[in-house]
Amino acid sequence: MGPFQRKPPGLPTPNPDRHNRETSPSPSRRPSATRPLDVSALENALPDSSHLSSQTLSRKASSQKSLNRQQQSRSVSPGGSPSRTQSATPQGSNGKPLYLCAPFVDAALVKGNYKKITKLPKYVDVNEWVAVNIFDFYSNLNDFFGVLLECCTQRSCPVMSAGIKVNYTYSQVGGSQKRVALSAPAYIDATMSYIQSLLSNPEVFPANSMQSFPKSFPSTVRHMYRELLRVFAHLYHAHYHHILQLRVEPHFNSLFAHFLAFGREYELLDEKDVKGKAGEVGVGRLWVEWRERGILE
């Protein structure tokens, strides 16, 4: 695929200081190995926390105290008492998922349209702009998953589901490319570790301003974006009541709306990626709802 979009004519070649962007996550969040993840071993290891990957342990350790404090101080969500054996977010009285019900569907930190904050800044290279934003989306989503890690278990989420008849399978990188069914925590851990390894790879995300982005950068980022969308979709489907209990739904909604707006602006997401092949299901319904309300275009 070609570039995301053409640079405006007549502009000087941008040369931003990429050293200000943290292209490599902190050591505690590095993947435990550079070889392709053994998804079968990962799945078998998940029930015992002593065998979790280093990235999962990092998320677990960094979020444990925060999660405990939040659970002690917050009231129970309107959908009922959160249960770790629950496989989907409770529905509202109208039969809709809670994230589609008022007032939660309107909860946001940013009011209005997201067009302005997704617009390419003047004199900034589009690849650099995409790289900075996808790193931020990954980091913020990783933090949310870290807080919800205790609630997303093999027992509560035995499949990577994002709605009725919407189940995702995982393809091991560098392996046979055979799709395998994983529990949600195993799928997300494998996905986030894979994305982290790409973000840490200077051949994919150059850390030096003298290096150019590879020609494969647009297609690589599109793949990363679709995988992040699946993580968002699962958290909305299975854990939105936990998000409500922590009272961070404005933060999570704003992050996802920004993610969708940016993905559509730079053609990182197709409409079918969001809505699903079978029509408007899961977060696809949320995307349609936000478009009708003028939050997204």
Residues forming the annotated binding site for Zn(2+)? 152, 157, 234, 239
Q: How many helices (DSSP H) and strands (DSSP E) are in the chain?
A: 9, 4
Q: Which residues are annotated as a binding site?
A: 152, 157, 234, 239
Full DSSP string of 7-62:
PPTTPPPP---GGGS--S--GGGS-S-SSPP-HHHHHHHTTSGGGS-HHHHHHHHH
16: which residues sit within 8 A by CB, 6+ positions away? Answer: 124, 125, 128, 209
Task: Note whether 188 and 23 are within 8 A (CB).
Answer: no
Of 207, 204, 159, nearest to 184 by C-alpha is 159
Task: Note whether 189 and 42 are within 8 A (CB).
Answer: yes
Place of tokens 């109208």: 94
As a whole number of angstroms, the distance between CA 98 and CA 238 comes to 11
Coil/strand/helix, residue 171: strand
Which DSSP letter does residue 1 get? -
Of 256, 251, 216, nearest to 234 by C-alpha is 256
As a whole number of angstroms, the distance between CA 105 and CA 290 comes to 8
172: tokens are 């091991």
CA 124, distance to chain mean position in Å, is: 25
Place of tokens 């589901």: 161
Of 161, 144, 121, nearest to 256 by C-alpha is 144
